[in-house]
Amino acid sequence: MGKIILLLPLQFRVLYRQFLLRVIDLEALSIEADIPGFIGQFAGVLIFISAISALKALSLADAPPEILRGICWTAEQQHISGIMLVVGLFAVVSWDATFPDKRDALVLSPLPITSHVILLAKLAASSTIIGVAILSLNFAAGFMWPLLVAKAGASDPLRAMAAYWLTMMAASAFLYGTVLTVQGITALLLPRGLFLRLSALLQLAAFGLFLGVYFLQPTIDNQAAMTTASNHHLLVFLPSFWFFALFNQLNGSLPASLGSLATEAWIGLTLAVTGAGASLLFCYLRTMRKTIEEPDLVPGARGLHWTPRLGSALQTAVLFFTIRSLVRSKQHRVIFAFFLAGVLGTALFSVKDAWWAGRRMPLSIDFLASSYLMMVLAVVGLRSVFALPITLHANWVLRTTQLRSTRQYVAATRYTLLLLAALPAWLLTVMLSYSIYPWREGVAHLAVVALWGLVLTELSLLGFYKLPFTCSVLPGKTNIQFLFWGFFVFGVIFAYMFADFEIHTLHDPARFRLLLAVLVAISVCLWSLNWHRARSAVLYFEELPQETITTLGIASLS
């Protein structure tokens, strides 16, 4: 392998290594971040999920073929939509990474490097990461499930395995190719300034779309249901079902009625790959020059700079500073979007059954737990993003204009957290509750969720004597495994325990009043604790300068 790599041109190898390290948007990660370690942690999470899925397959090894058939049918759908979600999220995180940016244009253009070497190096870097994702997510499941599929359909295990892996690669290539095609066409058609603005919106839209489709798409566990007219009309628009049909075609188990879906997969794959290739090629030929020639000073739209007075002057300043940082800083936007994706995913998960049933449902533990989790993700998400610096060197601006007590600054931060995290999460719960659940129980639950939001906001302010974005807890150093499993194991279990408790109190007014009183007392206690502590606290601003030089880390070699 090493010898093959050495046969590649030196320019390609150098650029590939560079691009591999920054395939996840450098702006979204600190310069100090250990990017290979960060990717490794994500791969670890995927491997763990794969292992759990493989264990499930192992436990079903002795099941009779007729039962296995139904289970495998749904498992195949889940695995395909799972890999599409992972690749989709990667496409969002590595947004723009495959396209030429100003930095590449300015640094690489004066050097004797052709555009196609840059393009190939970038494509190779992105493909490497997608390959790691496919391998990790199917690390164990990709061997166990095809064996089970072969047993259920009395087919060739090797063919099932080959079909499985080819389908995973095809689904990933389709999704990533589609994203590149859309980005490429937009970049080619629009003026550069407008494209950069629209690109940020497209990134967030793609985030919502991938999650929405993943959580809302139905799982169909038998062939008869899949071929009914109403379902078939829906499946035509869901790419994961095209690739499900493709898998069955490659495995030799495709029912004739699903042949059109497999054809759609082939057409979609061809269009996505050729579209991505063509648009990337054109972008490298045309936009490299356009990128260099673009003016630095891009006039802004006047309407976007409206600053109404919301609260005191300080509250308004902190609120708008936060909104503008979240909207305009890619680093903050992407990380907060991850938390919002969690909120959206949880919301969609909680209403999926009612959505498909098309009628009002009784208040469920799933919905109650989901609404707490939405609140946690929103408040914790925004509070986490507050801890990412935007420009430490510009902290002097806030320090020289610090004309109020620390308590007032903490109050302004609280106001921002409530307005930008707790309130939207609560309004989302109101919307879901109003549209699906009985209103009286729904209203009672909304009161609990509102208090839950206040408690979380106060908890997140404990010891936080800072303004948003003025200190440097850097992304890329977070232990993803710890956060992911900590949230799932403790967060979800606690939410379900509390939901179970709440659903009982909803039918017992005395206990419900007690629950409200306890939540009010906790939030008041936490508020007064923060209030008293802030009185003697000094507002903290990060003193450390941002790293401007990245070391090669080769000191130990000398």
Partner 1 sequence: MLELRNVSKHFCKIFAVDDVSFTARPGEVTGYLGPNGSGKSTTLKIITGLIEMTSGQILFDGKSIHDDLIAYKRRMGYVPEEPYLYTHLSGVEYLVMISQLRDLPTRQSSERIDGLLRLLSLYDDRHASISGYSKGMRQKLLISAALLHNPDLILLDEPFSGLDVGSALILRSLIKELAARGKVVLFSSHELDTVERISDRVVILHRAKVVADDSIERLRSMMDLPTLEEIFSQLVVEQDFAATARQIAELVHG
Q: If binding is defined by CB under 8 A, does position 390 make contact with partner 1?
A: yes
Kindly write out the interface string for residues 269-308 of this chain, putting x where it contacts partner 1 by CB under 8 A and - elsewhere: --------------------------xxxxxxxx-xx-x-
Nearest to partner 1 of 221, 542 (CB atom) = 542
- Of positions 124, 190, 281, 314, contacts partner 1 by CB under 8 A: 314
Residue found by looking up tokens 């303004």 in the block: 467
For residue 305, the 8-state DSSP code is G
Measure the CA–CA gap between 382 and 318, rounded to whole angstroms.
14
CB of 391 to partner 1, least distance (A): 6
Q: For every residue of 485-496, which 3-state class applies, written as one string? A: HHHHHHHHHHHH
Nearest to partner 1 of 260, 307 (CB atom) = 307
Measure the CA–CA gap between 198 and 203, rounded to whole angstroms.
9
Nearest to partner 1 of 298, 462 (CB atom) = 298
**Taking the CA atoms of the chain, what radius of gyration do you get in angstroms?**
26
Nearest to partner 1 of 321, 498 (CB atom) = 321
- Of positions 12, 321, 487, 498, contacts partner 1 by CB under 8 A: 321
What is the phi/psi pair of residue 315, to 5°? Answer: -60, -45
Q: If binding is defined by CB under 8 A, does position 31 make contact with partner 1?
A: no
- Of positions 59, 66, 256, 309, contacts partner 1 by CB under 8 A: 309
Nearest to partner 1 of 305, 507 (CB atom) = 305
CB of 191 to partner 1, least distance (A): 15
Nearest to partner 1 of 100, 389 (CB atom) = 389
Which class for 3: exposed (0-12), middle (13-18), buried (19 or more C-beta within 10 A)?
A: exposed
Q: If binding is defined by CB under 8 A, does position 393 make contact with partner 1?
A: yes
> Do residues 64 and 153 touch, judged by C-beta distance below 8 A?
no
CB of 304 to partner 1, least distance (A): 8
Kindly write out the interface string for residues 347-386 of this chain, putting x where it contacts partner 1 by CB under 8 A and - elsewhere: ----------------------------------------
Q: If binding is defined by CB under 8 A, does position 316 make contact with partner 1?
A: yes
> Do residues 82 and 106 touch, judged by C-beta distance below 8 A?
no
Q: If binding is defined by CB under 8 A, does position 45 make contact with partner 1?
A: no
Q: If binding is defined by CB under 8 A, does position 116 make contact with partner 1?
A: no
> Do residues 269 and 173 touch, judged by C-beta distance below 8 A?
yes
Stretch that binds partner 1, among 200-208, 323-331, 381-389, 423-431 (CB under 8 A): 323-331
- C-alpha torsion sign, points 268, 274, 278, 280: positive
Q: If binding is defined by CB under 8 A, does position 233 make contact with partner 1?
A: no
Total residues at interface with partner 1 (CB under 8 A): 35
Measure the CA–CA gap between 277 and 255, rounded to whole angstroms.
33
Kindly write out the interface string for residues 324-353 of this chain, putting x where it contacts partner 1 by CB under 8 A and - elsewhere: xx--xx------------------------
> Do residues 291 and 105 touch, judged by C-beta distance below 8 A?
yes
| Both tokens assigned to 370 | 């989901």
CB of 300 to partner 1, least distance (A): 4
Stretch that binds partner 1, among 164-172, 219-227, 281-289, 311-319 (CB under 8 A): 311-319
| Both tokens assigned to 71 | 């289970």
Measure the CA–CA gap between 195 and 2, rounded to whole angstroms.
40
| Both tokens assigned to 192 | 């550069």
| Both tokens assigned to 316 | 């308004």
Measure the CA–CA gap between 431 and 374, rounded to whole angstroms.
13
CB of 305 to partner 1, least distance (A): 6
Nearest to partner 1 of 124, 196 (CB atom) = 196
Angle at 145 between CA 139 and CA 148, to 5 degrees: 150
CB of 314 to partner 1, least distance (A): 7
| Both tokens assigned to 438 | 């009985």
- Of positions 219, 391, 435, 479, contacts partner 1 by CB under 8 A: 391
Which whole-number Å values give the CA distances from 353 to 72, 193, 213, 245, 372, in the listed order? 22, 43, 14, 24, 19
- Of positions 143, 320, 355, 496, contacts partner 1 by CB under 8 A: 320
Residue found by looking up tokens 């589609």 in the block: 178
Q: If binding is defined by CB under 8 A, does position 317 make contact with partner 1?
A: yes
Nearest to partner 1 of 127, 316 (CB atom) = 316
CB of 115 to partner 1, least distance (A): 26
Instruction: Please state the length of the chain.
Output: 558
Nearest to partner 1 of 159, 330 (CB atom) = 330
CB of 509 to partner 1, least distance (A): 46
Nearest to partner 1 of 258, 390 (CB atom) = 390
Measure the CA–CA gap between 44 and 481, rounded to whole angstroms.
7
CB of 291 to partner 1, least distance (A): 14
CB of 389 to partner 1, least distance (A): 11
CB of 364 to partner 1, least distance (A): 42
Q: If binding is defined by CB under 8 A, does position 548 make contact with partner 1?
A: no
Measure the CA–CA gap between 447 and 426, rounded to whole angstroms.
9
Measure the CA–CA gap between 156 and 498, rounded to whole angstroms.
49
CB of 376 to partner 1, least distance (A): 28
Stretch that binds partner 1, among 180-188, 336-344, 391-399, 521-529 (CB under 8 A): 391-399
Q: Cα torsion at 50, 51, 54, 55 (round to 10°)? A: -150
Residue among 128, 149, 129 nearest 79 (CA): 149
Which class for 306: exposed (0-12), middle (13-18), buried (19 or more C-beta within 10 A)?
A: exposed
> Do residues 265 and 241 touch, judged by C-beta distance below 8 A?
no
| Both tokens assigned to 157 | 């295990």
Residues 397-436 that bind partner 1 (CB under 8 A): 397-404
Measure the CA–CA gap between 270 and 174, rounded to whole angstroms.
8
Binding stretches for partner 1 (CB under 8 A): 295-302, 304-305, 307, 309, 313-314, 316-317, 320-321, 324-325, 328-329, 390-391, 393-394, 396-404
